[in-house]
Structure 1
C-alpha cells in the first residue's frame, strides 16, 4: 500500500517554479540572463546558480536541491554545455525527476542542432571525446570504470533531451531572441502557474483523506471515474480537493478546478461562465468565445476527448449539475478523473457509478492544533489558555472553518475577553454553525464595519477590491480600513489578483442576518441580493424605506417596466 509519506513527498510545496540549466561560459550574461529576467517579470520564482547558491554551501548539494524542488526545468543547450561535467550531471538528474513526476522540461537549443545532440555528433562528439580522454587518464581502475559508466548515462540523457523536441533557436520567431524569450516565458507561465491552486497554511488532519483520494486517482483505471466528496459546509471539502488536485494534476495531460458551482448556478449566465472557465483551463486559451450553452457543450466535447484530464467540480448542490457531469462522461478520454464536492449526499443517490467519500470533522487533538495555529500561531496553546481553548474546541465540534474563524477572532485578546467570548459561545446550540460564525461579525468594532460586511456579503463578493472601495467610499464607508478589519477577523480575504473573497459559510451567515430582519416579507429587509426577492418586491410593490440596496437582472427589470407601462397607459 502506498504510504502517506510518499504521497506527501510527491505533493511537496516546490521552492521554485523554474530551474535554469545552462553553460555560464556561453549564455550567463546574454540569452540566459535575459530569459531569467523575463521569467522573474512574469512572477515565476526561478533558480539560477549565481542567484540561489549561498556562499559556503555545497554547490553540488544546492544544485541537486534546486532541481528536485523546482516545478519545471529549462535546459539552455549551447555549444559548450556538453563540455561541462556539472551541466551533464544536472541534465541526468533533471531527466530522472522529469520521468518520475512528469513535470515540465523545456529544452532550448541555442545555436546547436538537436540532431547533433541526439546522435552525439559535431560539437557534442568533441565534448564527449574530451571527457573520455580525461577519464582514461584515471589510474584507479574502479574510478575509471565508474567514470565511463557516467559517460553512458550522459549519452542516454542527451538522446532523451533531443527526443523531447524543444525549441531550436533559429526556427522560433525567425531567430529573434527577444521574441523567443517572451514565447518561453508565456509557455512557462501558462503551464506552471495556471494549474497550481493557492492553499491556506496549517493544513491539519487532512492526511488520511488525501491518501485515500490520491490512491483512487492513481489506481491505473482506463475508465472515466467520478469521486464525490461530501460533508457539512466548512468541513474542508474544498481544501482537501485543492490539495489533492495540486498533488496529482501533473499525472494528467490537463486539468481544471471549477470552484463555487452553487454560486455560479444562481446567475443567469452561470453555466456559460463555467463552460468558459473549463474550456480555458483545458485548452490553454485565455478567453474562449462561447455564444450559448449548446455552443459551449460542442466546444467542450471537442476539447475533452483528446487528453487524459483531471476535473474538479466544487460545491455542486443541484441534481441537474450532476446530470451534466455524468452526461459528459462518455466525452472524456480514457483514464480521466472527475472529483465532485457537495454538501448534500442525497444528490448522489441517483448515480450508481460514483465513489462516495465523506469528509469527517476533526478529532479533538487535530482541532486543538488547528485552533492553536490561528489563535496563537503555534501548534499548541500556552498553558494558561489550555482550559479556555478546550472549551472552544468542544463547541466547534471539529468544524475546521469555525476553528479558524474563532481562533483568528481571539488572537491577541486577554484571558478575560476569552472567558466572555466563550460564555457567549456556550449559549449557542452546537448545530447552529451560522451562529458560531456570527460571533466574528458581532465582534466587529462598530456599525460601519458591520454594515460594510453586509454590503460586501450581498453585492460585492468576488469583485476587485479597488472597485469596491470606489463604490462604497461614495456611500460614506471607511472602506479601506473596514476591509482590513474584516480580513483581520477572517471574514474576508483577497486573492492574488486583488479580488475580495469569502468562504461560503461566512457569506451565508451574513445573508442570514439580513433575512432574519424580516423572514417572510423581503420588502422590510435592508438589502435584497437575490433577484427573485427583488423581483417579488418590485412586482408586488411591497418595497419600504428599509431597503438600502437591491440587485436585479436587467432582463427581468424590462418585464417589470412593461407591466408598469401597461398599468399606467392601458
Structure 2
C-alpha cells in the first residue's frame, strides 16, 4: 500500500509540475495584506489581457518550508512581480520566494518588478522601518537556538533574505503611497510595463520571414493611432495570395497589447460557409468576453453584440470576408462598439468595403523586385540571397511570380536543394502550366464575374491600358450601360493581377 501511495504522489507531482511550465508572470505577495485587494485586482487585469499568471490561491496556514512546485513556477515564469507590503517580511515563505526570484534573475535573466505597496523602498533595502520588527523577531529566534548547527543554518538563511531584499529594492520599481491611485498603477503595469517585457505574449503565428511586411503596415498603424476617440473601421483589400492575412496578423501583433478586449476572426468566408453566421457571432463574443453565449439567431446575435460591446473598447480583425452579410452580423455599424475601438477587415473585394462603410481602404500591393527576391531566397536557399550560380534563374522565377508572396513561398520551397538542371526544367514547365498550389488559392480571381465582364477585362487589358474610364465606357458601349461593369472589373482581384 505504501508503494502505491508513493507512485501516486510521484505521478501527481509530475503532473502538477507539467502544468507550471511557461508562465508569463509569477506574483509574489503576502496574502493577508493584498490578496483580496491590490494583488487580486492586478491578477485579474493580467489574466484579462491573456497573460498566463501564477497566483497562489492557497489561503491555508503555510508551513516553514516553501512548496517545491512554487520554485518550479518561479523558474518557468518570464516575469516575477513582487508586491512588498508591510507584513511581507513576516512570512518566511515570501522571503524564500524572493531569494529564488532573485536567483532566477541572475542565472536565467528573468525580469523582476518590485512594487512597494504602502512601504518605503528604503525600509525594504535596509530592513528597517516597517520591516525592522520582523527581523528583530528573527534575530531573537536565532539567539535562542541551542543547537549550533541549526543556529548557523538559520543565520545563513536570514543573511540570504536580507541580501535578496536589498537587491530587489535597488531595482527599478513602482511605489504606491497612501494617496496613490491603485487602478492607474495597475493599468500602467498591464498596459505598458509587461508588454515591453513580453512583446511576444499572445501574438498570432506569422511566417518566419516577414519580408517587407512592416514597411507595409506602418502607414496603417499610424492611421490607427491618430484616430482619436472615434471608432475606426479600416479595410485591407487585395488579390488572393498577396498576404492580407499575414498583414492583418502583423498589425494585430503590434497593437493587441493595448486592448483588453480583442478578437481575430480568421478566414470568415470559410468559417461562415462551414458553420454559419451564428457560429461566427458566438466566436466573437467568446473571444472578447472569454465566456460562451447562447445565440439562437443572427438577429439575436446582433442584439447581444450591441449590448455587450457598445461600451467596451475592442480590437476586432475580421479576416477574408466575401459577403456583406458576414460583416453585418458581427460589426454592422460603428456604434456597436465603444469609443477608440478598432475594426480591421480584409477582403479580395474592394467594392464590398465601400458597401460596409469603412473609414479608409488600403490596397495591398505586390512586393517589389528586391523584396520578392529576398523572400524567394529565404524559402529556396534558407538565406536572404541566392546561392552562387542561381541568381539569374532566381530572378526569372521571381519575375514569373509577379511579386506575389504565396507564389514566391511555394516555388522557393519546391526548388530548395534542387540542381540547376531541375530549376531550368521547372521554369519551362511553369511557362506552360502554373504550379497547382499557386493556382488554387487564386482561382477566386476568375470566379464571380460574368462573360460580359470577362470580355471587358480582355478589352481593357489589350486595348485600353491607361485610358480614362469614361472614354473606355463610351467606346465599349455608347449608352454607357457598361460603366458599372467596368467599375466591377477594376475593383476585382482579376484586374489587380493583370
Out of 246, 269, 272, the position equivalent to 2:278 is 272
Is 1:321 equivalent to 2:318 in the alignment?
Answer: no
Q: CA deviation at 1:18?
A: 1.3
Question: How many residues of Structure 1 are paired with residues of Structure 2 in the alignment?
Answer: 336
Q: CA deviation at 1:358?
A: 1.1
Q: CA deviation at 1:375?
A: 1.1
Paired residues for 1:54-453 under 5 Å: 67=79, 74-75=81-82, 78=88, 79=91, 118-120=117-119, 127=124, 130=127, 156=175, 163=182, 195-219=202-226, 221-267=228-274, 269-285=275-291, 287-324=292-329, 327-350=332-355, 353-427=358-432, 436-438=434-436
Q: CA deviation at 1:198?
A: 1.5
* Cα distance between partner residues in 1 of 2:179 and 2:100: 18
Q: CA deviation at 1:263?
A: 1.4
Partner of 1:461: none
Per-residue CA deviations over 1:245-294 (Å, capped at 9, x if unaligned) read 01111111210011111113324x41011111101100112x43222222
SS at match of 1:367: helix
Q: Which has the higher contact order (CA 8 A, sep 6+)?
A: 2
In structure 2, the CA distance between the partners of 1:282 and 1:297, relative to structure 1 (3 Å rule), is: same
Q: CA deviation at 1:309?
A: 0.6
In structure 2, the CA distance between the partners of 1:234 and 1:224, relative to structure 1 (3 Å rule), is: same
Contact 2:235 2:360 in 1 (8 A): yes
Per-residue CA deviations over 1:372-427 (Å, capped at 9, x if unaligned) read 11111111111111111111000000000010011111122222111111011123
* Cα distance between partner residues in 2 of 1:260 and 1:271: 13
In structure 2, the CA distance between the partners of 1:440 and 1:342, relative to structure 1 (3 Å rule), is: closer
Partner of 1:448: none
SS at match of 1:398: coil
* Cα distance between partner residues in 2 of 1:409 and 1:236: 19
* Cα distance between partner residues in 1 of 2:69 and 2:320: 46
Partner of 2:483: none
Contact 1:315 1:343 in 2 (8 A): yes
In structure 2, the CA distance between the partners of 1:352 and 1:294, relative to structure 1 (3 Å rule), is: closer
* Cα distance between partner residues in 1 of 2:308 and 2:200: 21
Contact 1:229 1:342 in 2 (8 A): yes
Contact 1:225 1:336 in 2 (8 A): yes
Contact 1:257 1:312 in 2 (8 A): yes
SS at match of 1:357: strand
Q: CA deviation at 1:200?
A: 1.6
Cα RMSD over matched residues?
4.5
In structure 2, the CA distance between the partners of 1:133 and 1:164, relative to structure 1 (3 Å rule), is: closer
Per-residue CA deviations over 1:446-493 (Å, capped at 9, x if unaligned) read xxxxxxxxxxxxxxxxxxxxxxxxxxxxxxxxxxxxxxxxxxxxxxxx
In structure 2, the CA distance between the partners of 1:193 and 1:275, relative to structure 1 (3 Å rule), is: farther
Q: CA deviation at 1:211?
A: 1.0
Per-residue CA deviations over 1:333-377 (Å, capped at 9, x if unaligned) read 100000000111121233555211011111111111111111111
SS at match of 1:314: strand
In structure 2, the CA distance between the partners of 1:120 and 1:440, relative to structure 1 (3 Å rule), is: closer
In structure 2, the CA distance between the partners of 1:388 and 1:322, relative to structure 1 (3 Å rule), is: same
Per-residue CA deviations over 1:212-233 (Å, capped at 9, x if unaligned) read 1221232251111101001111
* Cα distance between partner residues in 2 of 1:312 and 1:196: 13
Per-residue CA deviations over 1:296-334 (Å, capped at 9, x if unaligned) read 222222221242110001111123334446633212010
* Cα distance between partner residues in 2 of 1:390 and 1:425: 14
TM-score (norm 1): 0.50
* Cα distance between partner residues in 1 of 2:371 and 2:266: 26
Q: What are structure 1's unaligned runs of at least 5 residues?
A: 1-15, 37-45, 49-65, 68-72, 97-106, 108-116, 135-146, 167-190, 429-435, 442-503, 513-570
Partner of 2:71: 33
SS at match of 2:325: helix
Per-residue CA deviations over 1:33-89 (Å, capped at 9, x if unaligned) read 3645xxxxxxxxx745xxxxxxxxxxxxxxxxx65xxxxx55476546689799799
TM-score (norm 2): 0.57
Paired residues for 1:515-526 under 5 Å: none
Q: Greater CA radius of gyration, 1 or 2? A: 2
* Cα distance between partner residues in 1 of 2:341 and 2:263: 12
In structure 2, the CA distance between the partners of 1:284 and 1:326, relative to structure 1 (3 Å rule), is: closer
SS at match of 1:227: strand
Contact 1:82 1:127 in 2 (8 A): no
Paired residues for 1:482-521 under 5 Å: 505=441
Contact 2:118 2:176 in 1 (8 A): no
SS at match of 1:281: helix
Contact 1:437 1:506 in 2 (8 A): no
Q: What are structure 2's unaligned runs of at least 5 residues?
A: 1-21, 30-62, 106-110, 132-165, 186-197, 448-498
In structure 2, the CA distance between the partners of 1:413 and 1:219, relative to structure 1 (3 Å rule), is: same
